Amino acid sequence: MKITLDIQDNRFDTFLEFIKTLDYVSISNEDEIPQWQRDEVKSHLKLIKKGEMKTRSWKEAKKDIFKK
């Protein structure tokens, strides 16, 4: 069984602490972002701040990706 919850950020820590108290619940970090990906994002952010990399809106990127 898989359950998806939509919890506001400001309530997540409280919810997580509560859910950990239940003996039939296990928590895994399958969705954790790998370190290499975190490092890549940091690198891109530095380049953007220096003006060496430009950004674009999702709308523009989506047009290029899906050719629509």
* Residue position matching structure tokens 């309530």: 11
pTM over 0.95: no
Taking a C-beta distance cutoff of 8 angstroms, is the pair 16, 9 a contact? no
Instruction: Please report the sign of the dihedral spanned by the C-alpha atoms of residue 47, residue 49, residue 46, residue 29.
Output: negative
Over residues 36-50, the pLDDT tens digits come to 999 999 999 999 999
Over residues 8-25, the pLDDT tens digits come to 999 999 998 999 899 998
Domain ranges in the chain?
A: 9-66
pLDDT above 90: residue 29: no
Residue 26 tokens, joined: 């296990």
Half-sphere exposure in the Cβ direction for 43 (13 Å, CA) = 6
